[in-house]
């Protein structure tokens, strides 16, 4: 069985070498088959018992650069219409707070405290946390609350949610996703344009990565993201270290032999 795994990974059986994730699925299937044979009494030995599927490497989150975020945010507000004001405020808030998309669309007006510069988010398991938000995001949010939201809310029966659709109903996660996708497409400037598959989590990744790159403590970022364990947050430190290596390699006169 160990030879089977080696053949999968190296392609020594004249096949195509498989990635760790694909090899892991194949080994898991083979282990299940051998276990079935043993349970049915069709074999006395399970050669797969001592073989463990390879663990796929943990993928690093893809963060946008600061300039790409700027372009994305600018592309969200194409005019001064209520919908554009809403879209700009939504994306500014996502990037400024690292909020999950479900947390952003679940915001109600009473969760906002502009005088203190903070807002209240409810994460997984309805766990509450208070996060600060920067001036750019508050400015965009205030513009929407004053000039955009009243117009949209008037089309419905009145709801407490901050972000509403064109019928005056709470904005759904799917609609918020579409807002981001549309802005990402408008921000595309050609070969150096933003990936069209930017997701709401991309802004969350970018928020954490940029904070750590700017010197924020990982436990502060953990609190702002609402992670139960700092281990989850530490994946972003790997992104920052990779960036530091790149800067070092291109900047230090004796970085390369």
Are 69 and 211 in contact, with CB atoms under 8 Å apart? Answer: no
CA distance 198 to 177: 9
User: Which pair of structure tokens corresponds to residue 199?
Assistant: 């997701």
> Of 22-36, 90-104, 175-189, 208-222, which has the strongest mean pLDDT?
90-104
Give me the phi and psi of 55, to 5 degrees please: -90, 120
Q: Confidence class of residue 11 from pLDDT cuts 50, 70 and 90?
A: low
What pLDDT, on the 0 to 100 scale, is given for residue 191? 47
Note the helical H segments in the chain.
2-10, 20-39, 66-76, 82-97, 101-105, 135-143, 149-153, 173-186, 200-213, 218-225, 230-233, 235-251
Q: Is the pTM of this model over 0.75?
A: no
How far is C-alpha 119 from the geometric centre of its chain's CA atoms? 20
Token pair of 221, please? 């970022």
Catalogue all structural domains in the chain, each as residue range(s) with its CATH number: 1-57 (no CATH), 66-247 (1.10.443.10)
Other Cβ atoms less than 10 A from the Cβ of 140: the count is: 23
- pLDDT tens readout for residues 45-62: 776 666 666 665 556 557
**What is the end-to-end Cα distance of the chain in Å, rounded?**
43
Q: Which of 57-71, 179-193, 230-244 is predicted least confidently?
A: 230-244
**What is the model's pLDDT at position 145?**
97
Residues of the chain with pLDDT > 70, as a percent, come to 72
pLDDT mean over 153-174: 95
Q: What is the maximum span of the chain, computed from C-alpha positions, in angstroms? A: 75
Using the 8-state DSSP alphabet, how is residue 179 labeled?
A: H
10 Å Cβ neighbour count for 154? Answer: 10
Question: According to the model, what pLDDT value does residue 156 have?
Answer: 92
Mean pLDDT calculated for residue range 103-121: 94
At 83, list the tokens.
Answer: 């919908």
Dihedral of the CA atoms 64, 66, 69, 71 (nearest 10)? -120
The pLDDT-based confidence of 178 (bands split at 50, 70, 90) is very high
Active site residues: 100, 124, 201, 204, 227, 236
């Amino acid at each position: 069985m160990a030879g089977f795994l080696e053949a999968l990974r190296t392609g020594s059986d004249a096949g195509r070498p498989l990635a760790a994730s694909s090899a892991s699925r194949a080994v898991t299937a083979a282990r299940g088959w051998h276990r079935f044979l043993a349970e049915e009494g069709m074999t006395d030995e399970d050669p797969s018992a001592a073989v463990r599927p390879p663990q796929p490497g943990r993928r690093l989150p893809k963060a946008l650069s600061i300039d790409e975020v700027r372009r994305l945010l600018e592309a969200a507000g194409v005019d001064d219409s209520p919908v554009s004001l809403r879209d700009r405020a939504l994306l500014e808030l996502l990037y400024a707070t690292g909020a999950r998309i479900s947390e952003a669309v679940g915001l109600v007006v009473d969760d906002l405290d502009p005088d203190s510069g903070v807002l209240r988010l409810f994460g997984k398991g309805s766990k509450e946390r208070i996060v600060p938000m920067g001036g750019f995001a508050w400015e965009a949010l205030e513009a929407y609350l004053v000039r955009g939201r009243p117009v949209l809310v008037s089309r419905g029966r009145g709801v407490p949610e901050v972000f509403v659709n064109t019928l005056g109903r709470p904005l759904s996660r799917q609609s918020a996703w579409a807002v981001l996708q549309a802005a990402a497409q408008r921000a595309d400037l050609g070969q150096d344009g933003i990936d069209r598959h930017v997701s709401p989590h991309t802004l969350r990744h970018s928020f954490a990565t940029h904070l750590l790159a700017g010197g924020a403590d990982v436990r502060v970022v953990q609190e702002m993201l609402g992670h139960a364990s700092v281990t989850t947050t530490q994946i972003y430190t790997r992104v920052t270290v990779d960036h530091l290596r790149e800067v070092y390699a291109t900047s230090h006169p004796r970085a390369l032999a």
